[in-house]
A and B are shown apart, each in its own frame.
Chain A
Amino acid sequence: MLVVLELDVADLAATRFAISPLSETTRAILLLARPSPATVNRPWVGWSRGQLERRPLRMPRAWPLIVNGLPSYPEFLVPAPAGRAPGLDAELARMCATPAEAVRASLRRVFGDHPWPDSATELFDRPAESLAEIAAELGECHERLIMPHWERIRPVLEADIAYRAGLLAGGGARSLFSDLHPDLRWSEGTLTINDTDERSSVFRVTLGPDGVVLMPSVFNWPQVSYSKATSTQTTLVYPARGTATVWEGGVTAGGTAAEAVEELLGAPRARLLVALRSPATTTALARRLGVTASAVSQHLAAMHRGGLVDRQRSGRTVLYQTSELGLALLAGARTREAGCG
């Protein structure tokens, strides 16, 4: 199926990026429900299932709405983020403020003639109370399953936006869209998504006011998703660059450097190379590794000169990340270790 978003010049001028913890939370719930989740996020899925076995998380209201076996879930659960990076609470407050009519319209669109789960019926009947209960469930889910990793997820999302901002400044929105996802095409004001759905139909998205909010995602990897109809702005979720690096060092913090790399670079630089598979600032690294910032800074300078790490600006901070070359070095070391058995 071809999905078409037609943007006029005002829509394009309003199009912006945002980071949404709420969107990541709902995408993560979908991921948990999937029998064979995408490879890159499997470490998190395994970890989460372990957590849930130890202490179950009950989401009687939110779960049936999100994991519904249908092509989409109710759009009001993830309103377009109001700013660049709102906190979860701000997003949940916005969700709770959805007008009753918008809630009902969305439920009708999603569930239509299909059997309605109880929580959908209840939401239809008493939207305000139901939304507050859903917000509490999603808040708990976020706290237990997403928060412990947010310090690693967020820099990947930030680094993605910084990279896109550079493309936007250097080559305009058309360079941006041509790089966002292989299924996306931009041509003369029309953004086309080649949906995995095999039907040969064309679906025109009714745009919300004020363009599109582009949201990088770790948990939705490798797909691109969009809100088909919306009571806020239209959102488009795309896979963040470097998603694969978030869980590479294992789900629990740390991970051991390949010994071969350690031998080559020395222990401190090898640890940095491993740690930087997910982008971080000098200060964060210093804190994580328990060394001084100036020591980290000196190693990073050498590693940057040697092409092992990349440097990127994100707002007022500087993010470092293991470069392609650095990753190749780590991968090479691992392969050799395996080969030596």
Chain B
Amino acid sequence: MRLMLELGVADLAATRFAVSPLHETLRALPLLASPDQSAMNRPWVRWALAELDRQPLRMPRVWPLLVTGLPYMPEFLFPAPSGKSPDLDEELAAVCATPAGAVRTSLRNVFGEGPWPDTATDLSERPAESLAEIAAEVADYHDRLIAPHWERIRSVLDADISYHAGLLAGRGARSLFSDLHPDLRWSAGQLFMTDAEHWQADPSVTLGPDGLVLVPSVFGWPDRSIKKATSTQTTLLYPARGAATVWQVPAAPGALGGLAALGAPGALGALGALGGEVPAIESLLGAPRARLLGALRSPATTSALASNFGVTPSAVSQHLAVLHRRAWSTGSVSAAGCCTKPPSWGWPCSTRP
């Protein structure tokens, strides 16, 4: 079964990309309940669960709304990002501004005749207050479990958008969609999405005004998802290119030291699983360059690397230049700054000594 979106020329002309901290934050939540949903994100799940063991986080309002086992999530929790990259506070303000009518309609769409969690009932009865409480819970959860990783996530999302912007400019929108996800196909002015089974009941999508907002996602990986109804713009979430690199953190003091300080030994094991490679690479490249190579499995700026390793940016820059000349890393730039990431052909020493 296929889902068809009929975009008018004005819709396509308004279609744009955006990075959404709120989408990422909320998409990550269900993974804590069922880690198998996204194997790639398991390192984060393990780290987050260990972190929660250490100090629990209470989310009595948000959790029952998102971790439901139902096919949909309430759309008003995911307003279309208003700009290219709003911050979390702006996005939460947009959530709080959802009209009461839209909140109730969405809750009915999601929970229907089924049992309603208390928080949904409460939200339906006093939307404004409830939304404010939800926003506070989300902000708290974001600070503890997402923010520590946001810089790396953000680099990957920005790099994805840069890549797709180039594709859009060089080959046009029609070449763009199939590159976003294999389930997407553009043909003769229409966008088709191969079905996920729950579309079968009703394959229609009611487009919001002003086209689509295309949102790359790490935590939504590997799925794509589209809002079937919306009170803002229609958003299409797709897996970011290179999402897997976010969790391939090296056994570097800056990165893992930080996690160890959080008291998450499980996370050390999970995130440092590739640590065994380091000595082999070290003997080849020397310790500083090997550490850089390891760290750059996830894109980073020269200054971020320098502060991570506690060395000067110019030292990092010189090593990177050498690595770059040798094609060990690829220089590219994102909206946020100059990033460097490892070559696409993989790693020179993948066997353990």
Binding site for B on A (CB under 8 A): 7-18, 83-84, 161-162, 164-166, 168-175, 177, 186, 188-189, 211, 293-294, 297-298, 301, 311-313, 315-318
Contact = CB atoms under 8 A, between A and B. Distances in A.
A interface: dominant SS: helix
A293 B169 CA distance: 30
A297 B321 contact: yes
B13 interface: yes
Interface residues of B, number: 44
A174 B170 CA distance: 17
Contacts of A301: 302, 313, 317
A305 B232 CA distance: 37
B314 A313 contact: no
Contact of B12 (A13, A161, A166, A312): A13
Given A173-B12, A318-B338, A164 B84 contact: no
Contacts of A171: 16, 84
B232 to A, nearest CB: 15
Given A9-B8, A297-B321, A316-B330, A165 B169 contact: yes
A175 B332 CA distance: 25
A10 B188 contact: yes
B13 A173 contact: yes
12 contacts: A9-B8, A13-B172, A14-B174, A165-B165, A165-B168, A169-B162, A170-B18, A172-B15, A297-B321, A301-B302, A313-B334, A316-B330
A311 B333 contact: yes
Interface string B53-79: 000000000000000000000000000
Contacts of B186: 13
B13 A186 contact: yes
A58 to B, nearest CB: 37
A171 B333 CA distance: 20
A298 B314 contact: yes
Contacts of A14: 172-174
A311 to B, nearest CB: 6
A297 B317 contact: yes
Which of B188, B318, B330 has its CB near the most chain A CB atoms (within 10 A)?
B318
B208 to A, nearest CB: 14
Contacts of A83: 170
Given A172-B14, A173-B13, A294 B317 contact: yes
B207 to A, nearest CB: 13
